[in-house]
A = this chain, B = another copy of it.
Amino acid sequence: MNVGFIGLGIMGQPMARNALSAGFAVAVYDRMESRCDALRAAGAVVLHSAAEVSASADVVITMVPDTAAVEDVLFSAGGVAEGIRPGAVVIDMSTISPQATEQFAARLREKSVEMLDAPVSGGEPGAIAGTLSIMVGGARPVLDRFLPLLQSMGKRIVYCGGNGAGQKTKVVNQIVGSLNLLATIEGLRVAKAAGLDLPEVVQAVAGGAAGSWMLSNLGPKIIAGDFNPGFSIRLHAKDLRLANEFTQQLGLDTPGTSLAHRLFEEAMKQGLENLGNQGLYKLWSD
């Protein structure tokens, strides 16, 4: 099976590498050519446009920052839609608008190309270890066909429903994760101000009813002053913009999402965008 992989950022790079390691023939493209070097060294074919990558692919994976970038890589000149063959499949693993996803799927279907939305959770560590959670929307038989490919990148592949359902599930994931992160940050701020031993606090809290992935994984980073991005504030803020938009369209009162959205926008304003999302901690000076 020929796999085209477009977008070799923090997430895309290890994901493409895991597909390669699992024995898939992988051709890659990224606008920043230097990002392709490591994949080339690992045995991937490096090509020079999304259209080129698509021309020989049975399946094209896109892993880019946002809705506009997916639209661009799919439908602009030199994009996927220009090169892809009828019967091939696009799997968009980016996190983007559920509604836009439905539209992109419809546009691709006009070219006899099926699309899956398959956004991921688990961050850089999950991408590297191949243990991502993958939330899939689209036609189930298409998922079944490409399950081994997704299994090379993720451990938990959940079918969520038709086109867009993966992205909707990801919105839910980001709402839950954002508030868990805020919980971790606020808890550690209070612990610090109370004069408690922070690693002991994490040990005490993480094992009980207040435990979370965020506390266990990002808590120790915050304590160590490590604000390097596994997942950046910029991308997290983008996801919360999507989430906020989506809950408003649904007409829901979501005070938690609103708060998280507001705090991440504030972090953007304060120039924290390139920190990891645990850097939201720096919004407060205490």
Residues of A whose CB lies within 8 Å of any CB of B are: 98, 120-123, 126, 132-133, 135, 155-156, 158-161, 165, 168-169, 171-180, 182-184, 186-191, 193-197, 200-201, 203-205, 207-215, 217, 231, 243, 246-247, 250-257, 259, 263, 284, 286
Partner of A132, one of B172, B174, B208: B208
Q: Are A255 and B250 in contact (CB under 8 A)?
A: no
**Chain B hits for A98, CB < 8 A:** 194
The docked-state distance in angstroms from the alpha carbon of A173 to that of B95 is 31
Q: How far is the CB of A45 from chain B (nearest CB, A)?
A: 31
Partner of A200, one of B132, B158, B193, B256: B158
Residue of B nearest to A203 (CB): B158
The docked-state distance in angstroms from the alpha carbon of A126 to that of B176 is 23
Residue of B nearest to A254 (CB): B186
Show 30 A/B contacts (Cβ-Cβ < 8 Å), sorted by A: A121-B204, A121-B209, A121-B210, A133-B204, A158-B200, A158-B204, A160-B197, A160-B204, A168-B191, A168-B196, A172-B194, A172-B205, A173-B209, A175-B190, A176-B187, A177-B183, A177-B208, A179-B180, A179-B256, A180-B183, A180-B210, A186-B254, A186-B256, A189-B254, A194-B246, A209-B217, A210-B213, A210-B214, A252-B284, A255-B259
**Chain B hits for A209, CB < 8 A:** 121-123, 126, 173, 177, 213-214, 217, 231
Residue of B nearest to A175 (CB): B187
The 4 tightest CB contacts between A and B, nearest first, are: A121-B208, A179-B183, A177-B210, A133-B208
**Chain B hits for A210, CB < 8 A:** 121, 173-174, 176-177, 180, 213-214
The docked-state distance in angstroms from the alpha carbon of A41 to that of B122 is 49
Q: How far is the CB of A66 from chain B (nearest CB, A)?
A: 19
Q: Are A169 and B155 in contact (CB under 8 A)?
A: no
Q: Are B284 and A190 in contact (CB under 8 A)?
A: no
Interface centre among A121, A175, A208, A253 (most CB of B within 10 A): A208
The docked-state distance in angstroms from the alpha carbon of A87 to that of B254 is 53
